[in-house]
Amino acid sequence: DLRHEALARRLLGILHQRNGDLPAARTELGASVEIFRDLGDDIELAASLRERGLAEVFGGSLHDADWLLGEAQALSEQLGDRRGRAWVRQHQAWVAFLSGDTDLAERRLLTAAQEFDLLGDGAGQGWASGLLAYVRFIQGRFDEAEALAAKVRTESAALGDRWAPAMMDSLVASIRLWTTRFVEAEELSRKALTAFR
């Protein structure tokens, strides 16, 4: 049936995105959006819009990402979907961060992190806090960034996540580089590279 097709296409889109095939991700996620729109299933439509928006974030089309995420946000608000709203905020923080507006990114991440905390969503909390660590690094708040990165690394590793700890090692390597601790920066960079491979 169409609903299951749309769910499958969303999953395929997410997998294509994670494998770096943005054109295929856009195709599958776009099809998922249109099917759920035709079905009038606003809950699933909002989820597909979030994923489609995130694909545009990583594809560099921030204007499109902002538009798609804005629609997802409106639906989440209308539905009273707190978790969906928190994920939209986290994704919108990416848009702000990549646009160079670290203050807006920070506000969005703090809002998302608070909501994830209230919902008991450890994965969402980790994603919001991990990006917040990068925001604080870009803001030159190295000690805060490193403390947050250490927390995210520990918590995400406890959840069995391997990607987030590598991202936090990469961030801390950058902090070490910018604070002239070159040997430590190289060690952490190599550790992150091994994990990513």
Q: What is the pLDDT of residues 9-32, one digit of tens each?
A: 999 999 999 898 999 999 999 999
Cα angle at 187 between 184 and 189, to 5 degrees? 105
- Per this entry, what is the length of the chain? 197
Angle at 166 between CA 191 and CA 95, to 5 degrees: 140
In this predicted model, what pLDDT tens digit does every residue of 146-165 receive, in sequence order? 999 999 999 988 888 888 99
| pTM score above 0.85 | yes
Model confidence pLDDT, tens digit, residues 170-183: 999 999 999 999 99
pLDDT at 18: 87
For 35-80, how does the pLDDT look when each residue is reduced to its tens digit (9 = 90+)? 999 999 999 999 999 999 999 998 889 999 999 999 999 999 999 9
| Distance in angstroms (rounded) separating the CA atoms of residues 169 and 191 | 7
Residue 176 corresponds to which tokens in the numbers above? 């070490």
Residue for token digits 């091994």? 194
Mean pLDDT for the chain overall: 95
CB 194 within 8 A of CB 170: no
pLDDT at position 160: 87
